[in-house]
Amino acid sequence: MSPPLAPFRLALSALSSGQTEAALPLLRQCLDRGEDVALAGLNLGIALTNLGHLAEAVPHLQAACLALPDLAEPRFRLGQIAGQQERIAAARALFHEALILEPEHVTSMAGLAMLDEAQGNADGALQWVAQALLLAPREAGLLVMQARFSDDVALCRALLSQGLGGVDAVKLAAQRLDLAELREAASAAPLEWRWQAALGLAQLTAEEVDAGIAALRLACIFSDDAPELQGLLGLQLAEQRRDAEAEPLLAAGIAASHGDAELRASYALTLLRLDRLAEARLAFEAAIADFGPHPSLICNLALTLSNQGLQEEALRISDEGGDTVASLGCRMGIQPYHPIEGSAAALHRTASRLGAALPHPPLLPHPPGFDPERRLRVGFFGARLGRHPVGWLTLSAIEALPEAEIEVACYSLKTMDDALGRRFQARADLWRDLSPRLDDAALAAAIRADAPDIVVDLGGHGEGGRVTALAYRAAPVQIKWVGAQSATTGVPSMDWMLTDAWQTPPGSEAHYTEALLRMPDGYACYTPPPWAPDVAPLPALSRGHVTFGCFNNLLKITPAVLAAWGQILTTLPRARLILRTHALRDAPTRAALITRAAAAAIPLERLELHGPSSHEELLAAYAEIDIALDPFPYAGGLTACEALWMGAPLVAMAGSSFAGRHAVSHLNNIGLGHWVAEDVEGYVARAVAAAHSLPALAELRAGMRARMKASPLMDAPRFAANLTAALRHAWRLRCAQTQPLKPSSVQTERIKMLDKQKLIACAASRGAGKRL
């Protein structure tokens, strides 16, 4: 009987047969035993690198450098990792060290070419590739690099024709070859997956989304579901927000290429969008450990933690991104949810840091000129012009804008093909689809090409929002309105914040980098969905106890909110609380919330949790809610309107930030300002008092829709008239700064606005509506 093979030989056998995972314990066993330590450590480092465990691989590769000082490979591998972590200088030094030890180390030459390309040195990159090709003239990867650096279309075409280069060659062909040529080639070779895949990518770039995805699916079939191609398809599906389809394909791609940073980042983001929050957190943390603290990874990890209701941890993580525009924009997206740092003053400090990092361009010449009284071209800019809070809170007012005075332009970063999206398109006199791939300067230039007089941002620092693009001044007047409208934007060229006296009461001005353009009523105009069911009778009348409810995102459920709810339920021993939000689909997140609720003295037997539901189901669920509880410091905006529309009055607490006062505005505009508390004690007392007055609750519920329909909150013509006046005011002031009007005209306009603001302030101080 032959003696058993040593662990190192078994490990090499596993590695040579592609069983990388199986080799790991064998290589670790060698290190533990002190057998073949140097080579075992090197191979362990390489195996971990190939599996994408870059952080774990580094110490083993560093040890191999010391143990094998004449070997180029460990230095090359460390350089490869440094390059993936964007430590360019370190990567370059390591590749050069490898070449000193082994002057013909082709992969180090390729690594240096990639670094030169990343730094914009195409000539240097091409020189390294040419040198490497002398040593490996048939290496497909080098040929793809040569075609890319030299812009050699013929070589690009030849690579696909000869079946060389894999997905990298496909990507290059999609970029370099004409779409018509790709169609012809794919038709001529219908079973060749490379041509199909290149055609699909090119079609996606040309916004032929369905055809592009179909071509990529065909390519997967023809390639026998090659993992690298599955990963490519997964990336495209994820970009289209088809996350359920993308997730298994991305997982397959990662299984074959663990070190692909793009795949892993996209996979983690897909998990986040699928509400698999615990998995997403682990995926982002692993990617950061392996690829370094890239701002997008840091931002998305912070967002994941925030979605789990971990506001403190989320804000701490976001700070690790530093004072870059991307990191501060991310912080502006999550900071409003923090119980302390969500104050207006704290948000202004962060916005000011962001503003300091953004450009401050001068006002450019405006081709149509500065006639204060002509018809205005007003551009509405965002990625959510459709079935989204932006649509429900702006569309009816935009539709009612007078065509004689306002030309409506829409600049959409993502077409939303739904009923509201089609209404936006129908109202628009000018519609532009803009690619979210454009950088900020290019986005602003694309809008500026149409010479709008005013641009209204509807995205803010929220997901899909590109408010920082407006730092490059897309129009003479720029205004922030609904769409992640949680605080000041900090964008230097954002002139105004469209608001009202409840959102930003007198004295708020210091917390905004914009001037406050106050509307005489509310800042938003609510459109209810046509599928909303009728208001159900007050459930407490048949149940004998009150049911509270909150259907807001878990991001808004802070420890202070849970503590207040605990006080309410303790005071009302038969009352129940229902929470409904998409994050509760994730079992670990749900379990963590239960633990937090118990710590806040919420009786768990009276707490009911529900995960995601369709909009129709969510609205119908208000039939079980007697009283809605608004969260703080980030109040409900659309959710407040929906609760009221479904008959559930809302207990709210006034915060200091814009985000903290959404419900304050909505309640005052329907005459229920007395449902707003100024502190936690008042919030609890208001909820308890309402629960003790069931006949009054039933009467209020029965008349809630009529109240809303008759209020400024839903009066689109009235809102549109006020919005038109506000836009005209902002435009006249810009004209006065640029091309002086007659002094009397300017003075009269300013006096009118001052008088209007005084009236608004008086109305706010008196409170609106009759108590019921």
The tens digit of pLDDT for each residue in 88-101 reads 999 999 999 999 99
Can you name the residues that pair with 406 across neighbouring β-strands? Answer: 376
- Answer yes or no: are the C-beta atoms of 589 and 308 closer than 8 Å: yes
Residue 273's pLDDT is: 94
More confident residue, 225 or 661: 661
Give the separation between CA 105 and CA 95, rounded to whole angstroms: 9
Mean pLDDT to the nearest integer, 676-683: 97
Give the separation between CA 197 and CA 188, rounded to whole angstroms: 14
How far is CA 80 from its chain centroid? Answer: 30
β-pairing, 547-550 vs 627-629, is parallel
- Using 50, 70 and 90 to split pLDDT, how confident is the model at 739? low
- Using 50, 70 and 90 to split pLDDT, how confident is the model at 635? very high
Alpha carbon dihedral 369, 372, 376, 382, in 10-degree steps, equals 90
Q: pLDDT tens for residues 343-365?
A: 999 999 999 999 999 999 888 88
Residue 111's pLDDT is: 95
**Residue bearing tokens 């009202």:** 500
Asked whether the predicted pLDDT for residue 703 surpasses 90, the reply is yes
- Residue burial 97-116, b: 16+ Cβ < 10 Å; e: rest: bbbebbeebbbbbbbbbbbb
Mean pLDDT to the nearest integer, 637-664: 97
Whole-number percent of the chain with pLDDT over 90: 83
In the chain, what is the straight-line distance between the N-terminal and C-terminal CA atoms, in Å? 95
What value does the mean pLDDT of the chain take? 92
- Residue burial 532-547, b: 16+ Cβ < 10 Å; e: rest: beebeebbbeeeeebb
Please, what is the angle between helix 716-738 and helix 743-766, to 10°?
Answer: 140
**Where do the DSSP E strands lie in 215-260?**
none
Question: What type of residue sits at position 748?
Answer: T
Give the separation between CA 39 and CA 50, rounded to whole angstroms: 16
Mean pLDDT to the nearest integer, 522-533: 97
Cα torsion 155, 156, 158, 159: sign: positive
- Answer yes or no: are the C-beta atoms of 508 and 516 closer than 8 Å: yes
Helix (H) or strand (E) holding 377: strand 376-382
- Give me Rg for the CA atoms of the chain: 30
Give the separation between CA 8 and CA 28, rounded to whole angstroms: 9
Question: What type of residue sits at position 218?
Answer: L
Q: pLDDT tens for residues 227-238?
A: 999 999 999 999
Give the separation between CA 604 and CA 602, rounded to whole angstroms: 6
Residue 766's pLDDT is: 32
Helix then strand then coil, % of the chain, to nearest 5: 60, 10, 30
Residues 6 or more apart whose CB falls under 8 angstroms from that of 515 comprise 495, 496, 497
Mean pLDDT to the nearest integer, 571-585: 96
- Using 50, 70 and 90 to split pLDDT, how confident is the model at 764? very low
Asked whether the predicted pLDDT for residue 58 surpasses 90, the reply is yes
Mean pLDDT to the nearest integer, 550-577: 96
Vertex 370 angle, CA 367 and 375, to 5°:
90
Please tell me the pTM assigned to this model: 0.84
Residue 759's pLDDT is: 36
Residue 4's pLDDT is: 55
Residues 6 or more apart whose CB falls under 8 angstroms from that of 8 comprise 26, 27, 30, 35, 36, 39, 40
Residue 421's pLDDT is: 95
Please, what is the angle between helix 261-273 and helix 227-239, to 10°?
Answer: 50
- Using 50, 70 and 90 to split pLDDT, how confident is the model at 437? confident
- Using 50, 70 and 90 to split pLDDT, how confident is the model at 751? very low
Q: pLDDT tens for residues 125-168?
A: 999 999 999 999 999 999 999 999 998 999 999 999 998 888 99
- Answer yes or no: are the C-beta atoms of 656 and 634 closer than 8 Å: no
Mean pLDDT to the nearest integer, 63-74: 94
Mean pLDDT to the nearest integer, 297-307: 93
